[in-house]
Amino acid sequence: MKQTVLITGASTGIGHATALAFANAGWQVVATMRTPQPFNHPNILVVPLDVTNVASIDSAFAAAIHQFKTIDVVVNNAGYGVDGVFEAMSDEVIQKQFDTNVLGLMRVTRKAIEHMRPRKSGTIIQVASMGGLLTFPAYSIYHGTKWAVEGFSESLQYELLPLNIRVKIIEPGAIKTDFYSRSRTFVKPNHTNDYDAFIQKANQLSQDTGARGAAPEVVAKTILKAASSTSFKLRYVTGFPAPLLLWLRKVLPVAWFMAIVKLAYGIKKMK
């Protein structure tokens, strides 16, 4: 019997690549997105879903269950990144970032549990980031959301273990997606130039890293592997430079790791 996966944020990037990876592996795929776009693949059902809207989530799950009867795996991929200077970020920008990356993921996770609990079976995969375990300059709000996803998911797996529901966290490095371009929200202040040098260096390093990032298919392959595994392994690291940086963050004293980041960004204490 074919298994079914529901994926959020499947219109582009990692979500799009993941939908195709599962479909090509013979899975029944429910590819969800705010504005439906055709996939033209026999194994893919496209359904509208906005993670900031509970009714939209309910409708998407209902459509998936109506079509395929059950959902075996849910991949929480929907999200985007805010970077820039925190002082210039409005409440609206901050709330939107958390509503999508954290609360949206939680809403979909809750709905997935409601479906999987009676069956005592299922896997929930959270697409987090290496930025959920370490930080870089100019990404304070984005890091806040990904650290929240890490803590939420790590704690959640304890209560779902007795129900035979697996929780898995994917921690990609830099990936060549719209994260660094179209879907990027960059914030800088208009009332001061005190951050100009910092912004220039941080933006340059961000774009350089994105240009050297792995293809979305690399992450899609890891998500498929996690979904296919019967283990309760929690974390899956994938894509340059995540394995190296997370290893360094683990083995080095915190002060040493932070010193490396400061050196890379040219950040010095004021004399």
Q: Which residues are catalytic?
A: 142
Nearest to 11 by CA among 30, 37, 29: 37
Nearest to 21 by CA among 143, 164, 170: 170
Nearest to 204 by CA among 145, 153, 136: 136
- Residue 184: count other Cβ atoms within 10 Å of its Cβ: 16
CA dist 77 → 28, 50, 74, 108 (Å):
17, 12, 9, 10
Distance CA 254, CA 81 (A): 25
- Max distance between CA atoms of the chain, in angstroms, equals 67
- Per-residue buried b or exposed e for 20-52, using 16+ beta carbons within 10 Å of the residue's own CB: bbbbeeebbbbbbbeeeeebeeebbbbbebbbe
